């Protein structure tokens, strides 16, 4: 018998689930449905704030020891239909969740891997993290990108010296051979220069480039969020043709148009074993709403994790720890 006592799914989801599923009013209810018919469901998870607690920087997240095993177990029990849909690079997620196999999409739909479908391309895109301190930046040799190979412009402004890279950052590393569908979008140089100047003007901001995505982290100085978003909006108007702003939890990302977590989940849903299953997307931030919409339009579920973006009311999960306990319960229930 499945034990739901640990699922703590008391939140009323009636406002966020399709009207034709009145029986599902909590994450616990959904776990019961999955346990009864695991071949009918596919699970999609955001990573930061959903599977792991938000940390001061993305590199400093801690991964509870049971998470990889529980995720791998549920993935087996669902015939492989468990994916991540994240803004991170998939290579970073692999490091976090090792030894669990990572399947899904990274970088807001720019990367895919592990999907058994010839229609879905797989790519690896470099990233580098640069911390800006004391209004100066300097990149060590190890961080200088191979522009010829990757076609991604270097993040730098000529009048600034790069101070140091984040030592723990997911800097340039060797990628597994992956197929590149088309050249990565080119970051407009005016946009790069403007964002670098912005970051240099506000001590404590952290700037990250993930291929064609620029991410400004301000968790260490959260009061500047509105100022950062306003400045980025102005920069986009002047230099951001083909780009849009996606605010997150103490981050603001500049992303090429036409890609999102919504496009990511839509593509995964065409691949085996995800195709034909009821999609359940779980996430904690603005960017996840694009994926929620796609999942709900397909008759599935978009379940929010409470935090800085989603309030507790209407959120299926009150924290990433709640998501993890739900996964653990699901794993245990499916094993019976
Ligand atoms: Mg998140």
pLDDT tens-place string over residues 1-39 = 222 222 333 344 444 445 555 467 889 989 999 999 999
Question: What is the whole-number distance in angstroms between the Cα of residue 192 and the centre of ligand 1?
Answer: 24
Is 158 a domain residue? yes
Question: What is the whole-number distance in angstroms between the Cα of residue 141 and the centre of ligand 1?
Answer: 31
Q: What is the mean pLDDT of residues 207-233?
A: 91
Segments forming the whole domain that contains residue 48: 27-123+260-335
Question: What is the whole-number distance in angstroms between the Cα of residue 47 and the centre of ligand 1?
Answer: 6
Give the closest residue to 86 by CA, choosing from 215, 205, 224, 183: 215
One domain for residues 96 and 139: no
Q: Which of 7-16, 66-75, 291-300 has the lowest mean pLDDT?
A: 7-16
* Gap between the Cα atoms of 248 and 226, Å rounded: 12
> Is the CB of residue 59 less than 8 Å from the CB of residue 319?
no
* Gap between the Cα atoms of 240 and 265, Å rounded: 25
Is 7 a domain residue? no
Cβ count near 179 (within 10 Å) = 11
Q: What is the mean pLDDT of residues 300-328?
A: 94
| Sequence-distant (≥ 6) Cβ neighbours of residue 273 within 8 angstroms | 42, 78, 79, 80, 81, 116
pLDDT in tens, 81-127: 999 999 998 989 999 999 998 999 999 998 888 886 655 555 544 44
User: Domain end: 202, 224, 256, which one?
Assistant: 256
Return the bridge partners of 187, or none: none
Question: What is the whole-number distance in angstroms between the Cα of residue 54 and the centre of ligand 1?
Answer: 8
Question: What is the whole-number distance in angstroms between the Cα of residue 283 and the centre of ligand 1?
Answer: 6
pLDDT at position 209 is 85
One domain for residues 156 and 231: yes
| Sequence-distant (≥ 6) Cβ neighbours of residue 121 within 8 angstroms | 112, 179, 180, 181
One domain for residues 43 and 158: no
Question: What is the whole-number distance in angstroms between the Cα of residue 160 and the centre of ligand 1?
Answer: 32
The pLDDT mean for the chain works out to: 78
Residue 172 has pLDDT above 90, yes or no: no
One domain for residues 301 and 198: no
One domain for residues 230 and 176: yes
Q: What is the dihedral of CA 243, 212, 268, 245, to 10 degrees?
A: -30
Question: What is the whole-number distance in angstroms between the Cα of residue 58 and the centre of ligand 1?
Answer: 11
Question: What is the whole-number distance in angstroms between the Cα of residue 291 and the centre of ligand 1?
Answer: 12
Question: What is the whole-number distance in angstroms between the Cα of residue 332 and the centre of ligand 1?
Answer: 25
One domain for residues 265 and 119: yes
Question: What is the whole-number distance in angstroms between the Cα of residue 149 and the centre of ligand 1?
Answer: 30
Is 22 a domain residue? no
Residue 137 has pLDDT above 50, yes or no: no
One domain for residues 119 and 265: yes
Cβ count near 240 (within 10 Å) = 23
One domain for residues 33 and 135: no
Is 59 a domain residue? yes
One domain for residues 224 and 147: yes
Question: What is the whole-number distance in angstroms between the Cα of residue 85 and the centre of ligand 1?
Answer: 9
Residue 55 has pLDDT above 50, yes or no: yes
- Three-class DSSP category at 301: strand
- Three-class DSSP category at 252: strand
Question: What is the whole-number distance in angstroms between the Cα of residue 109 and the centre of ligand 1?
Answer: 14
pLDDT at position 7 is 30
Domain count, the chain: 2
One domain for residues 235 and 164: yes
């Amino acid at each position: 018998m499945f034990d739901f006592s640990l699922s703590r799914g008391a939140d009323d989801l009636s406002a966020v689930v399709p009207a034709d599923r009145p029986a599902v009013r909590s994450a616990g209810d959904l776990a019961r449905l999955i346990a009864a018919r695991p071949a009918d469901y596919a699970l999609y998870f955001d990573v930061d704030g959903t599977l792991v607690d938000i940390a001061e920087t993305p590199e400093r997240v801690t991964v509870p020891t049971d998470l990889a095993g529980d995720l791998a177990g549920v993935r087996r029990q669902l015939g492989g239909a468990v994916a991540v849909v994240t803004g991170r690079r998939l290579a970073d997620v692999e490091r976090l969740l090792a030894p669990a196999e990572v399947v899904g999409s990274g970088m807001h739909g720019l990367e895919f891997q592990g999907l058994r479908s010839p229609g879905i391309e797989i790519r690896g895109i470099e990233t580098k993290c640069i911390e800006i301190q004391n209004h100066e930046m300097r990149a060590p040799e190890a961080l200088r990108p191979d522009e010829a190979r990757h076609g991604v412009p270097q993040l730098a402004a000529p009048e600034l010296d790069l101070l140091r890279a984040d030592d723990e950052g997911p800097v340039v590393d060797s990628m597994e051979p992956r197929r590149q569908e088309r050249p990565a979008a080119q970051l407009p140089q005016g946009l790069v220069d403007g964002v670098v100047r912005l970051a240099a003007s506000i001590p404590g901001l952290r700037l990250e480039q993930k291929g064609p995505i620029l991410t400004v982290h301000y968790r260490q100085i959260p009061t500047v969020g509105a100022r950062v978003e306003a400045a980025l909006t102005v920069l986009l108007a002047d230099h951001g043709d083909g780009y849009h702003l996606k605010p997150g939890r103490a981050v603001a990302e500049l992303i090429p148009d036409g890609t999102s977590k919504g496009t990511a989940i839509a593509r995964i849903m065409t691949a085996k074993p995800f195709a034909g299953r009821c999609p359940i997307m779980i996430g904690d931030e603005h960017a996840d709403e694009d994926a929620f919409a796609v999942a709900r339009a397909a008759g599935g579920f978009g379940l929010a994790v409470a935090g800085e973006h989603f309030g507790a009311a209407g959120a299926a999960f009150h924290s990433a720890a709640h998501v993890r306990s739900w996964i653990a319960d699901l794993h245990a229930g499916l094993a019976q």
